Chain A
Amino acid sequence: QKEVEQDPGPLSVPEGAIVSLNCTYSNSAFQYFMWYRQYSRKGPELLMYTYSSGNKEDGRFTAQVDKSSKYISLFIRDSQPSDSATYLCAMTRGFNTGNQFYFGTGTSLTVIP
């Protein structure tokens, strides 16, 4: 079983839709939960992160972590064509133990104008 599971999609939505992206994980030691966005021919870039459980909002993006269910989500409101990219969830135990991040396989999102 992989440490992190993510539905690869692809996901295609009309402009303005609310998008929900999800990951599940198996290791209860994970403390930091991140979402990265990767455009074609580019490396991933951090969108936002959450420490432990709870919600975090940043503009049109909301990240949720439910540690009891080992489930994390990213919501995109009022989706735009510029949001079209691959979204990767990632998680880590911490930053003093070798800095190993565990990534999902990524969900490909297309927002249609």
Chain B
Amino acid sequence: DTEVTQTPKHLVMGMTNKKSLKCEQHMGHRAMYWYKQKAKKPPELMFVYSYEKLSINESVPSRFSPECPNSSLSNLHLHALQPEDSALYLCASSQSGRSYGELFFGEGSRLTVL
């Protein structure tokens, strides 16, 4: 199994809603990443989890709250988002601490904030 599965594929939410994005992988990877991608731009790193601990937070607003309850799963909790947060949210995984670890991406969750 070389898949990273993200759900939901599409999400529309209002600015007062609370929702979550889910990312799962069963490749034994211990690094999981969240990226935000706007149209025609490269992915921007938001968070990195290494061995279930948050190792990188790229100064992301607190309305985005990640968690990694186990090595196979990461959630990105969303609360009080702004319309400019509308984007494709990509999750990826790799072997942590292995410099030659390949990076696997999910299909992404396309978020629209109204």
Are both chains from one complex? no
